[in-house]
Amino acid sequence: MKYFQDKLNTMKGYFDYTNEYANIYILDETHRIIASSKSSSHPIGSVFPPIEAFEKEIYVKNLRDYYGSQQAPPWKVIFVPKDTAYKNMEDFERTFSYFMALFIIVAIFLGWRVSKMITRPLSKLLWAVKQISKGDLDTPISTHSGDEIGVLATKFDEMRINLKDYQDHLKKKISELQILYKVGSIVSQELEYNHLLNTILNTVIDVMGAEKGSIMIYDETSKMLKIASAKGLKHHVVRQTVLASGESIAGHVFQSKEPMLVYDTLKSQDFIKIKKRKVTPGTMLSVPLVYQDNSLGVFNISKPMPYSFNDSDLSLFQAIANICATAIENARLYKLAITDEMTNLYIRRFFYQTMNQHMLKKEQNFSLIMLDIDHFKNFNDTYGHAIGDKVLIQVAQIISSSVRDCDIPCRLGGEEFAIICPNQRANDALIPSNRLKKLINSAIIDVPDGKEIQIGISIGISEFPQDGQTIDELYEAVDKALYYSKGNGRNQVNIYKDIQEKINKES
């Protein structure tokens, strides 16, 4: 083998001199390299590439051609010219460059796809987070990804849902606080007892979205619950509804001091059992009016549709009722301070205060009605003060039930009464005054000897500011009209301006 290598080197020396060939190989019958003129990419012992794969410039000779002997092995001598070697190198470099370029393009494409797979979910997640930061908690967060970004998006969506729930809870609480503030502000401005009850009822029905409602107050004298203010109820129901403690729904709530929510009045057996009366369809809330552990009454509201109220509404209604109970108790105490204990009419001091307040509103007319029971002294002298008191109470009840809600009925003292009628002219007060006289005349008082006595009443009317611009002037005018009625046969009604000329002539 060394011999062939030496021969090969001799040939290589010659060809190097001619500068034609880059390398020379000797191959055996199996195309294995047994000698090479220099180190190359095809080491000795390796299989030489198929000759057909080379270009034509590669020369192949038989070894016998160089030795001139048929005894030489049938090996081949491969001559690889320099140009062919370089060209193969260039082809390799070109192919390598193509492959590298293709690899780079594929790598860029794959990188772009991977970046899209990563950045697109991240972009969607970032957009959703920005929406949350702007206050949009209704848009769900979803990346449709099962990787870490998808998990992160799921957690963000859970956070969004929790924030939305908390926001809704806060909004509801704020709304409830606003309602409580509104109710508190309205009821705190009213001290007149009956006006307060009506204001409370109308305000609460409005803020709770109810259709009907009633405020029942416990009467300490009769020990019964009575409707003091109502809306949406028929008049006969208001007049006739009188409940003992523990009776029906309101009596049960009053006695237990526990609120009650009836989702469906037609299906609630407990409701039907307690009600013991004809049941109308709907939803009902009934809460106690409690002040310092003392039950004042019951507050009821209802809607015609079942399940219109829920437990949250019941809690809010009870909170409202607690505010209202304090206002009602304050108004009750104020009423006690300004009303006559026997007749429950306003006292003389309140009469003058109210007169002064209305006179300050100079743009408004109001009429003043004064009433005096005829021959009242005879009742006391003949039948005693107990019958006299009975007459006073009867007359006061008729006056209270006959006047408008805005009118101010007062007991000035003894058997003398007065009614302040805001926004009413004297002529307009004449008709209700005559109706009031007839009602008092028709009242029958039973006396101990079995007799029945009737009550006569004399009435005078004056008007502000025509008949007087001060309390004394207006009072003097109505007093003259009253005593004109008494002096001309009693039990009659006269307007000051109608008899003014006659009074002036007599005086």
> Looking at the domain assignment, is residue 168 inside a domain?
yes
Q: Are residues 94 and 243 in the same domain?
A: no
Q: Are residues 287 and 368 in the same domain?
A: no
Tell me what pLDDT residue 272 has.
Answer: 64
Q: Are residues 105 and 52 in the same domain?
A: yes
Q: Are residues 208 and 333 in the same domain?
A: yes
d(Cα 12, Cα 308) in Å, to the nearest integer? Answer: 110
> Looking at the domain assignment, is residue 39 inside a domain?
yes
Please say which residue of 128, 154, 174 terminates a domain.
Answer: 128
Q: Are residues 363 and 467 in the same domain?
A: yes
Q: What is the pLDDT of residues 445-486, one digit of tens each?
A: 888 777 888 899 999 999 999 999 999 999 999 999 999 999
| Total domains present in the chain | 4
Return mean pLDDT, the chain: 82
Kindly tell me the sign of the dihedral angle through the C-alpha atoms of 173, 175, 181, 186.
negative
* 56 or 411, which is more confident: 411
Measured between alpha carbons, how far apart are the two ends of the chain, in Å? 172
Mean pLDDT calculated for residue range 50-65 = 61
**In this model, does residue 400 exceed pLDDT 80?**
yes
SS3 62: strand
Q: Are residues 443 and 474 in the same domain?
A: yes
Question: Cα-Cα-Cα-Cα dihedral of 81, 86, 89, 95, to 10°?
Answer: -110
Q: Are residues 179 and 206 in the same domain?
A: no
Whether residue 327 contacts residue 196, with contact meaning beta carbons closer than 8 Å, is answered with yes
**In this model, does residue 299 exceed pLDDT 80?**
yes
Q: Are residues 378 and 486 in the same domain?
A: yes
Mean pLDDT calculated for residue range 379-400 = 92
CATH of the domain at 443: 3.30.70.270
> Looking at the domain assignment, is residue 343 inside a domain?
no
Position 14 confidence tier, pLDDT thresholds 50, 70, 90 = very low
**In this model, does residue 54 exceed pLDDT 50?**
yes
Show the 3-state SS of 88-114: HHHHHHHHHHHHHHHHHHHHHHHHHHH
> Looking at the domain assignment, is residue 401 inside a domain?
yes
Q: Are residues 207 and 180 in the same domain?
A: no
Q: Which two tokens stand for residue 251?
A: 């009596």
> Looking at the domain assignment, is residue 377 inside a domain?
yes
Kindly tell me the sign of the dihedral angle through the C-alpha atoms of 359, 362, 363, 367.
positive
Whether residue 304 contacts residue 318, with contact meaning beta carbons closer than 8 Å, is answered with no
Please say which residue of 84, 105, 128 terminates a domain.
Answer: 128
Q: Are residues 178 and 195 in the same domain?
A: no
Q: Are residues 383 and 463 in the same domain?
A: yes
Tell me what pLDDT residue 111 has.
Answer: 73
| Mode of pairing for the β-strands spanning 212-219 and 224-231 | antiparallel
Please say which residue of 337, 364, 391 terminates a domain.
Answer: 337
Position 5 confidence tier, pLDDT thresholds 50, 70, 90 = low
Q: What is the pLDDT of residues 480-498, one digit of tens each?
A: 999 999 999 999 999 999 9
Q: Which two tokens stand for residue 64?
A: 């016998």
> Looking at the domain assignment, is residue 318 inside a domain?
yes
* 94 or 419, which is more confident: 419
Q: Are residues 353 and 485 in the same domain?
A: yes
> Looking at the domain assignment, is residue 212 inside a domain?
yes
> Looking at the domain assignment, is residue 309 inside a domain?
yes
Q: What is the pLDDT of residues 310-327, one digit of tens each?
A: 999 999 999 999 999 999
Q: What is the pLDDT of residues 177-203, one digit of tens each?
A: 788 888 888 888 888 888 899 999 999
Could you list the residue range(s) of the whole structural domain that residue 5 is in? 1-128
